[in-house]
Structure 1
Amino acid sequence: RFPGGVSSPSDLWALLAGGVDAISAFPTQRGWDVVGDGFARVGGFVEDVAGFDAGFFGISPREALAMDPQQRLLLETAWEALERSGIDPNLLKGSRTGVFVGGTDSSYDTVGEASAELDGYRLTGGSSSVLSGRIAYVLGLEGPAVTVDTACSSSLVALHLAVQALRSGECSMALAGGVTVMATPEVFAQFAAQDGLARDGRCKAFAASADGTGWGEGVGLLVVERLSDAQCNGHQVLAVVRGSAVNQDGASNGLSAPNGPSQQRVIRQALASAGVAAAEVDVVEAHGTGTRLGDPIEAQALLATYGQDRPEDRPLWLGSLKSNIGHTQAAAGVAGVIKMVLAMQQGVLPRTLHVDEPSPEVDWSVGAVELLTEQRSWPVVDRPWRAGVSSFGVSGTNAHVILEQAPEVEPAVRVEVVPSVVPWVLSARSELALREQARRLAAYVEADSGLDPVDVGAGLVSTRASFEHRAVVLGTGRDELIAGLAGLASGELGAGVVTGEVGQSVAGEQGVVFVFPGQGSQWVGMARGLLVSSPVFAERMGECARALAPFVEWDLLEVLGDEEALGRVDVVQPVLWAVMVSLAQVWRSFGVVPAAVVGHSQGEIAAACVAGGLSLDDAARISAVRSRMIAGSLAGRGGMVSVGLPRAEVELLIVRWEGRLSVAAVNGPSSVVVSGDPEALAELVVAGEAENFRARKIEVDYASHSAHVEEIEAELVEALADIAPVEGTVAFYSTVTGELTDTRDLDAEYWYRNLRETVRLADTTRALAAAGHGTFVEVSPHPVLTPSLEETLFESHPSAVVTGTLRRGENELEQLLAAAARLHTRGVPVDWSAVVGRGSVVDLPTYAFQRERYWPRPRAAAGDVRGAGLVSLSHPLLGAAVELAGGEGVVFTSRLSLASHDWLADYLVNGVVVVPGTAFVELLVRAGDEVGCGVLEDLALERPLVLSERGAVQVQVVVGAPAESGRRAVSVYSRPEETAAEAGWTRHASGALASESTMPSGAELTVWPPAGAEPVPVDDLYDGLADAGYGYGPA
């Protein structure tokens, strides 16, 4: 954050490349209208230093108000610096990451009225040690946390200490930089008193016209890592700190006076640390404050070091960022480093502003040093580009850093399969922030047509933290993804957008449950899309095909599109088994690993296999052999019907058919499947129509889970006698028993019971919920059990998460990713890198902080009690009261300005801020309360009270002595503060105060709307008032 609206490195480069002068008038929102004259009221100011997203960092509003804004800015920039470095800040918790911050006292604790409710936070809120400590605390960093105060060299010294700590192994990574916020104008007044402030507030570094420094403020942080670690971790290296040095002037020619020999020594020490000659450095970002004393001394030191023994065609180029943004004090050094890093990236040396001609106080002929009075390309050399950066503190501490161009990196070669559907994963602390995040990302992608959507997706999942409010935008291309973002930003969600909030569900409490249905989820062509788009799925399907091969005469992959083959039970059941097992493997590759599994009828074979209780070969044997027996002995002799009634009612209902029907499955509270003879089932369907209950035929021609199955018991048990179930690694909940079951018991007899006995899905689902499971994934080509699961779970777990995997006839990868998105947005961990891979580095938008204003009310907000008299009033518009000697009159004093009462700017008349009539009413009623006459009987508004953008007005409310009736005359006066000695008082309002109202009884409004009132439309009310010249703001 730097002056000129700079809030990112790209903003700073735009300012530099455009030669922007960011010096501006004093801010109007800090209460600075109380300062005197004697210097230009301009400087370099950061926009909205009072704004802060306290909730994002888990800080209460009261603590945020007590916190030095420097701490607040550092928290935001620390987060952004890590995001821009491709690092999820949450992943650093507990790491040996250090924090080295240069900073000085901002005098924030002297701003505003004292408030007892902030007392518990003032110590940490104003302590300079907490500048670094707050970052470490909030992010959970456990390396060194050091705040450095060497005045103007603080941030460069902080960088030097960070580099040393990295080299010594004290930390694995570091945040280094500095911050300055001018909470009061004191530094301007103090430096002006020493004749050190430029008349126009601008730094004219090394110029003949230099007449003093110009103050600025800002914050900058660098992420610093050992080069080898950065390369190993895949972090983009922007530049290398080749060397650095720090020294002190010692007993020189004055405590605050710069010392040339000391500056030469620190430069030579830095060059020695870097192991390079002075002639191998191309440019120096100078301290360059524009003072008549300091600049010549610094220039001579540079001429004596860098200016010697250089090729004639390669002078040292010299510049200063302070000419653009002012002297940002403790942040000046890091600002210079960022400028030089950006210049290396762009290959351009920006010009220094305000140089009419080089200072005549310097003999420029003694060395090869030239000022960057014009922007120019970085000189072409046969080595890496290098730059020096200098910072010199008023206390005598000097620092110099040698930066080097980042080493070239071979372009990353993508080895992953590029997905045909790309997920863009976003999250935020609030819904508003999530929408703003979407808007920012959409604008970013639209502005760069060359961005690869997969690279964007990879960056979002690998470099950004996950928060409670989540969204996943799915698309097959750039335009589709941007459209999804636009819908998310506007709140009009499209089909490819999934949103959710973590914390509204029991998702992930005891892990995910995989649910495998029986027959019914199949469709012609299922799984063929995933065979192409998912290598994991294709590999597992190949393994299943090999496991099935000894037991079937058809090819697994060929029959996926064969409608006739899929109509056979001995084909469709093994095929579904293979597809479900393979889908489970894809879920695992996404990081969604089941904590428990449950299967419905033949789905239990897949569940047991995924749980590790059955080998792939044994599971294939069970599915193929059993389905073949069903086809040979049971097919064509039975059927099934789904009934929408509770089990107890169904059991009473089927008594009519005297054993020809059985309860085959209980899927939910009012979802039961009946199996048995075809004729009896047909009669059941007719009964449903007549008696108004749902009875729908299921497209099968056999009666599983009925007495029909008993015919194949002996044959089935014998055929499966050789299977060898083992102890699984995942909890297996049996729908035969309705409870947790040891997979070692899944022998041949169990698989007969699985086909014969009632499927107790509802009971088993309740058991899973009772065990703490709240997330269920139906692993199948189409969801068939999801409604029943929801019905059962929502009895006691209304926030449970239930999702399918694929949908009949839909794009399979898109459906799979949408299901993953539903899990992710409800808090289930999903490894999205399995979809988008690592990708190339892209500089994504940083977090969209939702800032609120935290700035104390100025101490002089309503009146100066010391100057006004005796009695202080706790009122936003009145500050003091004075009883007049020799009578019973009272004068109330006030002081109004847009700096102290910024909300008054929300009432404009023809573009001019006017104190509203209601404010006069409040002034007079409050004054009346003080003298026992709290009723305002008469009021005449005589002249408008206008507030200018700058300056203040003194206000007096004069209450006269009481008349015989007890009434008191009252008037409101004002005069400009700046010309108070010469200006007279202007009366704006007058009236009468009384102790009791003389209005007739019943005149008050007791019913709304009052009788006879006519409603009028208000949708365009404010627009109409604005057209008429009345401007109303939020206040």
Structure 2
Amino acid sequence: MGRTPGPDLHPVAVVGMDCRFPGASGPGAYWELLMSGAHAIGERPDSRGPSTVPGGFLADADAFDRSFFQVPPAEAGAMDPQQRLLLECSWRALEDAGTSPARLAGSPVGTYIGSMSDDWLRLSLAMGEVTPRTGTGSGRAMLANRIAYQLDLRGPSITVDTACSSSLVALHLACGALRAGECDLALAGGVNIVAGSVLDEIYAQAGLAAPDGRCKPFSAAADGIGRGEGVGVVALRLLDDAVRDGDLVHAVILASAVNQDGRSNGIMAPHRASQREVIATACRRAGVSPRDIRFVEAHGTGTPLGDQIEVLSLGDVFRDDAGERAWPLAIGAVKGAIGHTEGAAGMAGLIKTVLALRHGVVPPSAPHGAENPRLALARRSMELIREPLELPAEGCRAGVSSFGMGGTNAHAVLATAPQDACAVPATAPKGAPAGASAPAAVAPTPRVGVFTLSADTPTALRRNLRVQADDVARRDGAELARLCWTSNRSRAALPCRFATVADSPEELAARLFAGAELETEYPQAAEEPVLAFAFTGQGSQYPRMTAGLYEQSTVYRTFLEEASKALQPYTVTPVHELILAGDPAVHRTGTTQPALFAVQYALARTLMELGVRPAAVVGHSIGEFAAAVLAEALDLADAARLVAVRGAFMQQLPEGGGMLATRARPAEAAGLVEGEPSVGIGALNGPGATVLSGDLEALARIRTRLEERGLACTPLRVSHAFHSPLMAPMLDRFERVAARIPAGRPRLPFHSTVRGRPLADGEELDAAYWTEHISATVRFEDAITSLAASASASAPTHVVEIGPKPVLSNLIRRIAPARDIPALAVCRGEDSGLREIGDVLARLHRDGLDPAWDTFYPDAEKRAVRMPAHVFSTQWRSWQTLPAQAAAAARPADERAGAPSPDRVRQGVREAVAIVKGGRLEEYDDALRFYDDLGFDSVMLMELKYRLEVRFPEVGELSMPEMLASLVSVESLIGYLGEQLNAAVAR
């Protein structure tokens, strides 16, 4: 079928794209317009200059979501609308590529933009006012640089102007940069906005303008160019990299070429030989014979001479193998539908071609009369695309041409995407395990996911939730987890966040619709939650605890088996097998404690792998051992030995002890046990939550006394009197074992329930501590109080309960200092699994955490799917640069002599600040600080200096070093300027 590309021409994948063209607000609408065969040519808006010639114009070209990109009003107003369109389009193209634009900050992403319009600069200069923003807002170089600046992209940033071929040349350069290793992701795009009538006059005087404003490519009625607007951006990666990383690929760019007409019949005249050579060179570089090209998206301006030269040059390239072709070469040109979008024309044709290859059909050309008979297309084995043209599912090749006024020509050769990269399988292989290490008995992983979406404002979030809800409602269950993974990967974590767990499209759609209709305000997410892990104590165990999570999560399974292996030398049956078998032996102390330790270790390590990392730990009784491992005061093997020996020694103690939950206060409880030497205070869990522990007969006597006082008591189902004097017989034996374990210092704040406070620097968890731990009171309330009172940097915003069911969360809510700290449980019972973990991740993400989402999903579900693009706000609009301001007007006649009045100084300063910052004068209070409140930077300060000098010419040139000292607040600047004006008058 053709020659293989050379080793230096690696194919490039189109992994993302977005566009706006006349009549089309995105790629989907663009495709619908093209497939309809209609055109989008209409009346020229008043804002596009004095010409009345129709054309293809964008709706809402003056709208810009400036708050989303954190662009101040004055700066946004000065920005060329082309910059604004490119910013939004680039963001959406990156999202379409499955990449969060925010996560690309600081990375070597290239930016290549084609444009040929200076209309905005001319309009700005015509307004009679030049400011520092004139250069950054109107300079053509800033089209690419604005994207790189706002998104913090560090690769090459180049604006290309080769007239009509600009954006296809930009694509050519972007592909070259990827192949040269200058970037590993590149944006290539083009933009065109008609903000004036200069090109209209040029086209008219050159005889190139179509009177009705319509391009009619290859038609007998072709009579010139009709102008159009538009913006398109594609995200590019080397195909090998894209396939390796599982990116979805729209289409593949095999090769491209660029050349120049040189000295031809005229600097604006097309050149047959050069067009022929650029097409042939691109085919040669792609390793493709011309006979393999199924269709060409032509330049097709609809000028009689241009169309004829282009057909002749195509005929030259494809003539030699015309007899070998199975079908005529199909040609079309999108300019018939949307007009000539000039600097964006090549991108308009490229995106049309990419969509055609992806959908497997070429749209028909917009009808505009009979074919030009002078072109003799049939004789040259060519045909216009009058009806949708079906394409082969694999191996289809297509060409895109773009020729610039001035002689720079470009051509690209594209191909369909590899089958394994262009679509997602409907379902995972039947019976596929959740992970490679899963035993055969493990059930297939359910399709559960956490869908995330965010925006800069609650209104924007609701708007986008509606769009996503409509999309999800049309999907099937096979895509759910992949859709959720894509949302985690491709959507930036902005301040207003939505996150929810779901296991069906119906549930997810319902939650998205509900979120869109939520009347209460979405809170702003914190920068980063500070988390504390709280490990449960004995009593939370049950047969088959965490079995669901073991079956569903490879990560959890790995860590539970790791803990079980560490305990293996001290247990008859591996702990994880005993748990999963539903063995009631899990309630025997010698088994309970190792089992709880293993579960807690595995849960905590799983959360940490998911990016949920504790800033502090607290453990209730046996929970302190897993807490010590997480705080790196014990290693896993040593902790396993201590836990197993502890449980075994306790089980060997005589039975006959018990525990009694009471509502007695600590002082009252102390009085009750004072005369009962076999009873101790087992735990102080919170207000009205005191547990007594000891001899059963003594506990019965205490219970009677408490009930006589009206205080309820509840005996606990335990085998022994833990944390009581009855533990004494085992202490010496245990201490001898513990003495052989190295003492450790926690690397995290460790809020001890033995001490009732955080361990001090240098305080160790040694044999003495772990021995005391056995019979000492569990001072949980004190430990939680100390946790809540931590220094601000380490004070927890959330407590995550680590255990097989929630026990501590309710206790924490009853402890006053911690009452407002959310307590989240990762397990709620035997049926708990990934869904409950997902609930925790969703809540923490809403509150500011950015989890390691990849760990949550099985490998089979980590495949991108296409999602609807972010919908930007169109509320803010601007089509003018900075208007003339009264601040620069001449002074009133009665103030031309002498020092300006204080009111005039105050008014002048506030007007200047309002002009520089943007907004209404009444919004600016004199107490506002330039840096902290108004966000002034060096460029804004220089503009402020200039405007004050214009407003108050009598002061002369202000000294910036002197002025800086007074730039604390608006009030301080007013005072400084008044002093300077008084001094000037005195001179």
Q: Same fold (TM over 0.5)?
A: yes
1:624 to 630, 644, 651: 644
Return the alpha-carbon distance in structure 2 between the equivalents of residues 262 and 689 of structure 1.
Answer: 102
Other-structure match for 1:908: none
2:33 to 11, 15, 22: 15
Residues 390 and 401 in structure 1, CA contact (< 8 A), matched pair in contact too: yes
Return the alpha-carbon distance in structure 2 between the equivalents of residues 280 and 562 of structure 1.
Answer: 65
Residues 639 and 675 in structure 1, CA contact (< 8 A), matched pair in contact too: yes
Alpha-carbon distance, 1:334 to partner: 0.9
**Partner SS, residue 409 of structure 1:** helix
Matched, 1:161 2:173: yes
Could you give the per-residue CA deviations for residues 660-717 of structure 1, whole angstroms, max 9, x where no partner exists? 7644434457755444555665676677677677765544464433433334322332
Alpha-carbon distance, 1:300 to partner: 2.2
**Partner SS, residue 437 of structure 1:** helix
Which of 654-663 and 94-103 deviates more?
A: 654-663
Question: Going by fraction, where is strand more abundant, 1 or 2?
Answer: 1
Return the alpha-carbon distance in structure 2 between the equivalents of residues 114 and 791 of structure 1.
Answer: 69
Which one-letter code corresponds to 2:470 in the other structure? A
Question: Going by fraction, where is helix more abundant, 1 or 2?
Answer: 2
Other-structure match for 2:855: 834
**Partner SS, residue 256 of structure 1:** coil
Inter-CA distance 581–371: structure 2 relative to 1 (3 Å threshold): same
Other-structure match for 1:847: 870
Tell me the matched-pair count: 843
Stretches of structure 2 that go unaligned for 5 or more consecutive residues are 1-18, 435-443, 885-891, 893-987
1:748 to 748, 767, 770: 767
Residues 812 and 823 in structure 2, CA contact (< 8 A), matched pair in contact too: yes
Return the alpha-carbon distance in structure 2 between the equivalents of residues 355 and 463 of structure 1.
Answer: 41
Other-structure match for 1:349: 362
2:726 to 697, 708, 712: 708
Alpha-carbon distance, 1:324 to partner: 1.0
Residues 654 and 662 in structure 1, CA contact (< 8 A), matched pair in contact too: no
Q: Which has the larger radius of gyration?
A: 1
Q: TM-score, normalised by structure 2?
A: 0.78
**Partner SS, residue 400 of structure 2:** strand
Which one-letter code corresponds to 2:445 in the other structure? P
Return the alpha-carbon distance in structure 2 between the equivalents of residues 550 and 324 of structure 1.
Answer: 76
2:486 to 434, 459, 463: 459
Residues 165 and 410 in structure 2, CA contact (< 8 A), matched pair in contact too: yes
Other-structure match for 2:240: 228
**Partner SS, residue 164 of structure 2:** helix
**Partner SS, residue 470 of structure 1:** strand
Stretches of structure 1 that go unaligned for 5 or more consecutive residues are 494-498, 862-870, 872-1035
Residues 157 and 399 in structure 1, CA contact (< 8 A), matched pair in contact too: yes
Return the alpha-carbon distance in structure 2 between the equivalents of residues 207 and 116 of structure 1.
Answer: 44
Return the alpha-carbon distance in structure 1 between the equivalents of residues 401 and 737 of structure 2.
Answer: 85
**Partner SS, residue 619 of structure 1:** helix
Residues 213 and 291 in structure 1, CA contact (< 8 A), matched pair in contact too: yes
Return the alpha-carbon distance in structure 1 between the equivalents of residues 848 and 800 of structure 2.
Answer: 14
Which of 811-820 and 329-338 deviates more?
A: 811-820
Return the alpha-carbon distance in structure 1 between the equivalents of residues 51 and 340 of structure 2.
Answer: 22
**Partner SS, residue 634 of structure 2:** coil
Q: How does 1:109-188 map to 2 (within 5 A)?
A: 119-184=131-196, 187-188=199-200
1:324 to 314, 337, 344: 337
Which one-letter code corresponds to 2:139 in the other structure? S
Residues 55 and 226 in structure 2, CA contact (< 8 A), matched pair in contact too: yes
1:606 to 623, 626, 636: 626
Return the alpha-carbon distance in structure 1 between the equivalents of residues 240 and 596 of structure 2.
Answer: 50
Matched, 1:400 2:411: yes
**Partner SS, residue 225 of structure 1:** strand
Alpha-carbon distance, 1:100 to partner: 0.6
Return the alpha-carbon distance in structure 2 between the equivalents of residues 671 and 720 of structure 1.
Answer: 31
Alpha-carbon distance, 1:176 to partner: 0.8
Other-structure match for 2:601: 581
Alpha-carbon distance, 1:151 to partner: 1.6
**Partner SS, residue 176 of structure 1:** strand
Residues 20 and 27 in structure 2, CA contact (< 8 A), matched pair in contact too: no
Matched, 1:795 2:817: yes
Could you give the per-residue CA deviations for residues 800-848 of structure 1, whole angstroms, max 9, x where no partner exists? 4531211135533322221232222222332222222353331112223
Other-structure match for 1:883: none
Alpha-carbon distance, 1:72 to partner: 1.1
Cα RMSD for the two superposed structures: 3.6
Alpha-carbon distance, 1:504 to partner: 3.9
**Partner SS, residue 50 of structure 1:** coil
Residues 171 and 188 in structure 2, CA contact (< 8 A), matched pair in contact too: yes
Return the alpha-carbon distance in structure 2 between the equivalents of residues 4 and 271 of structure 1.
Answer: 31
Other-structure match for 1:435: 462
Alpha-carbon distance, 1:125 to partner: 1.4
Return the alpha-carbon distance in structure 1 between the equivalents of residues 765 and 285 of structure 2.
Answer: 71
Alpha-carbon distance, 1:208 to partner: 0.6
**Partner SS, residue 293 of structure 1:** helix
Return the alpha-carbon distance in structure 1 between the equivalents of residues 692 and 118 of structure 2.
Answer: 78
Other-structure match for 2:472: 445
Could you give the per-residue CA deviations for residues 349-372 of structure 1, whole angstroms, max 9, x where no partner exists? 222223422224435476322222
Q: How does 1:305-384 map to 2 (within 5 A)?
A: 305-311=317-323, 313-364=326-377, 367-378=380-391, 384=395
Alpha-carbon distance, 1:389 to partner: 1.5
Residues 344 and 405 in structure 1, CA contact (< 8 A), matched pair in contact too: yes
Inter-CA distance 753–299: structure 2 relative to 1 (3 Å threshold): same
Alpha-carbon distance, 1:22 to partner: 1.5
Residues 118 and 140 in structure 2, CA contact (< 8 A), matched pair in contact too: no
Alpha-carbon distance, 1:219 to partner: 0.7
Return the alpha-carbon distance in structure 1 between the equivalents of residues 881 and 747 of structure 2.
Answer: 65
Matched, 1:488 2:492: no
Could you give the per-residue CA deviations for residues 439-473 of structure 1, whole angstroms, max 9, x where no partner exists? 22232233343752122122222333322233332
Alpha-carbon distance, 1:475 to partner: 2.5
Return the alpha-carbon distance in structure 1 between the equivalents of residues 881 and 852 of structure 2.
Answer: 50
Residues 352 and 372 in structure 1, CA contact (< 8 A), matched pair in contact too: yes
Alpha-carbon distance, 1:388 to partner: 1.9
Q: How does 1:17-56 map to 2 (within 5 A)?
A: 17-27=35-45, 31=47, 35=50, 39=53, 42-56=54-68
Which one-letter code corresponds to 1:359 in the other structure? N
Which of 167-176 and 829-838 deviates more?
A: 829-838
Q: Relative CO higher for 1 or 2, CA cutoff 8 Å, sep ≥ 6?
A: 2
Which one-letter code corresponds to 1:122 in the other structure? T
Return the alpha-carbon distance in structure 2 between the equivalents of residues 451 and 188 of structure 1.
Answer: 53
Other-structure match for 1:772: 794
Alpha-carbon distance, 1:653 to partner: 5.6
Return the alpha-carbon distance in structure 2 between the equivalents of residues 506 and 216 of structure 1.
Answer: 46
Which one-letter code corresponds to 1:735 in the other structure? T
Alpha-carbon distance, 1:548 to partner: 4.2
1:717 to 712, 730, 735: 735
Could you give the per-residue CA deviations for residues 1009-1034 of structure 1, whole angstroms, max 9, x where no partner exists? xxxxxxxxxxxxxxxxxxxxxxxxxx
Residues 210 and 292 in structure 1, CA contact (< 8 A), matched pair in contact too: yes
Matched, 1:422 2:448: yes
Matched, 1:60 2:80: no
**Partner SS, residue 247 of structure 2:** coil
Could you give the per-residue CA deviations for residues 701-753 of structure 1, whole angstroms, max 9, x where no partner exists? 64433433334322332354444455666664433232236899434332221
Alpha-carbon distance, 1:330 to partner: 0.8
Inter-CA distance 120–548: structure 2 relative to 1 (3 Å threshold): same
Matched, 1:533 2:559: no
Alpha-carbon distance, 1:117 to partner: 11
Residues 22 and 230 in structure 2, CA contact (< 8 A), matched pair in contact too: no
Alpha-carbon distance, 1:185 to partner: 5.0
Residues 52 and 850 in structure 1, CA contact (< 8 A), matched pair in contact too: yes
Return the alpha-carbon distance in structure 2 between the equivalents of residues 379 and 658 of structure 1.
Answer: 89
Inter-CA distance 549–155: structure 2 relative to 1 (3 Å threshold): closer
Alpha-carbon distance, 1:56 to partner: 1.9
Inter-CA distance 158–545: structure 2 relative to 1 (3 Å threshold): closer
**Partner SS, residue 334 of structure 1:** helix
Inter-CA distance 149–241: structure 2 relative to 1 (3 Å threshold): same
Return the alpha-carbon distance in structure 2 between the equivalents of residues 672 and 114 of structure 1.
Answer: 81
1:736 to 754, 763, 784: 754
1:301 to 280, 291, 313: 313
